[in-house]
Each structure stands twice: as C-alpha cells, then as structure tokens.
Amino acid sequence: MTEEEKTTEATEEVEDVKEETKSTETNTNPMIEEAKKAAGELNKANEERKKLLDREEKLLAEKALGGKSVLNTEEEKQEETDREYAEKVISGGLNE
C-alpha cells in the first residue's frame, strides 16, 4: 500500500467516524432536551409545593396558638331554656 492510499483510507475512516458521531448527537439531543424540560417542570412543581406547605404550616400554627379555627371565629351564643328562665325568676336572679 502506498502512502497516498493509506492517507485516503485514513481520511475515509475519519469521515465515517464523524458521520457516526453526528448521527449519535442528533439522536441524543432531543432526549437531552426532553430531560432538561422535565427537570425544569419538576423544579417548578417542587417550588409550588414548598409554598403550599409553608402556607399550610402557618395556618396550623395559627390554629394551635389561637385555640380556635381561623375560619370559625364567632362564639356561639347559648340560649336560655324555658326551664332555666323559670328557675331564675323563682330564685329572684332575674334582677341581677
């Protein structure tokens, strides 16, 4: 084999390797891009979940410290029954 033939053969091998590399890169890029997109979406979802958990934690702390539910702040008025009213009148406690 002459030097010229060896050079031509080596050049052809290099071209073949370049084409194989290009096809591999082309096939890998969409997968990598899809993985990056999915990772970004997961990060967004994790941030949103963290915000919601912080909010829930604050509400639970308010409820525990206040002893009441945040939504139910009105006190229930206890109505007097007829019997209780009669007993109060008989005992003279109506004027108090």
Amino acid at 3: E
User: The tokens of 55 are what?
Assistant: 């909010």
Of 6 and 23, which is predicted with more confidence?
6
pLDDT in tens, 28-43: 688 888 999 999 999 9
Confidence of residue 5 (pLDDT cuts 50, 70, 90): confident
92 sits in the region (left: phi over 0; alpha: psi -120 to 50; else beta) called left
pTM: 0.39
- 35-to-24, 25, 27, 30, 57 alpha-carbon distances in Å: 17, 15, 13, 9, 32
pLDDT on residue 39: 94
pLDDT in tens, 54-75: 999 999 888 888 765 555 556 6
Domain boundaries, the chain: 9-69
For 59, other C-beta atoms within 10 Å of its C-beta total: 13
